[in-house]
Amino acid sequence: MKKILLNKIVSIAPERVFLNEPMSKHTTFGIGGPASCFIYPEREHLRQILKIANDYSIPIFFMGGGSNLLVSDKGFDGIVVSFAKSLKKLVFRKSNTFSCESGVMLGHLVKEVGKRGIGGMEGLVGVPGTVGGALVMNAGAYGKEISNLLQSATVLTMTGDEKIYQRSDINFSYRYSTFPKNEILLEAEFKGEKVNQKDISSEKLEASERRKLSQPLKFRSAGSIFKNPSEMMAAGYLIDKSNLKGSISGNAEISEKHANFIINRGDAKASDVIKLINKAKSQVKKQFNIELKLEIKLLGFNEKTMNELVGNGIG
């Protein structure tokens, strides 16, 4: 990116902009080269950032806590906007309703909702990331999805206009929503139901224990790599039955504990992860004739790599 454009962005909020920022510092995978420009904006900065990106056709990527993301080793020549340190407002009102800005960490929301005896999110305990990212990908676990309690959502368009979507305007399915990719989710309104506090605590404990037993939480990862092909068929089961647990490329490994997790054993490279992704997809396709589709997002990869991955059934 040209220096004059970087200077324009820095001038918006100098203390919140970082140039040539290693993305490995901002993903749960601990992997990724530098972003030309990385920014933690407050709400008032967003319109200025979008105007610059639009006026000069600069690629822009919006992220939350970096928990569902693999960034290339070369990084990303564009603007990365992160809400991990901004948009943190959470307000509870009467009738079990609450509004939440997109930068609130999902774990914090689950805790605060549970404290007030509002049910519906307890199964999401331990799921990393921000509320905005969780809504866009319709995060869920153990029968609970964040979209279940959604009432409405406020977004910012690339032209700087705010727009409100009602729940009925957005379609949700397994790890998917129809929120437009070129709009920024600012905040959401939720409504839950009052339930017994003991039931919430019990479900949270059960979900937490199941996660500890089944997932490689001692290592850095991006969570589940692939979507489950169906409710009756888990991606991890297919990879396991393809005898790929423990497969290694560099310092990346298909977890022995859960085959749908690729873990970073130290200084793994994105290229190592891609090799394991392709290996899992190829073997599962060969043995079961099932195309695995990625659950994680990819950033900064060249067109050839993206075309190969998309050609293999990602979407």
pLDDT at 181: 84
Q: Which of 82, 224, 242, 247 is catalytic?
A: 224
The CATH code for residues 3-82 is: 3.30.43.10
What distance in Å separates the CA atoms of residue 203 and residue 228, rounded to the nearest whole number? 23
pLDDT at 123: 77
Q: Judge whether 271 counts as a catalytic residue.
A: no
What distance in Å separates the CA atoms of residue 225 and residue 215, rounded to the nearest whole number? 12
Positions in the chain short of pLDDT 70: 310-315
pLDDT at 312: 44
Q: Which residues pair with 252 in a beta bridge?
A: 249, 264
Q: Which of 175, 187, 203, 249 is catalytic?
A: 175
Q: Judge whether 152 counts as a catalytic residue.
A: no
Q: Which residues pair with 164 in a beta bridge?
A: 154
pLDDT at 204: 75
pLDDT at 310: 56
Q: Which of 187, 203, 253, 295 is catalytic?
A: 295
The CATH code for residues 90-200 is: 3.30.465.10
Q: Which fold has domain 218-311?
A: 3.90.78
Q: Judge whether 295 counts as a catalytic residue.
A: yes
Question: For 179-206, what is each residue's pLDDT tens digit?
Answer: 998 889 999 999 988 887 777 778 778 7
Domain residue ranges of the chain, discontinuous segments joined by + = 3-82, 90-200, 218-311
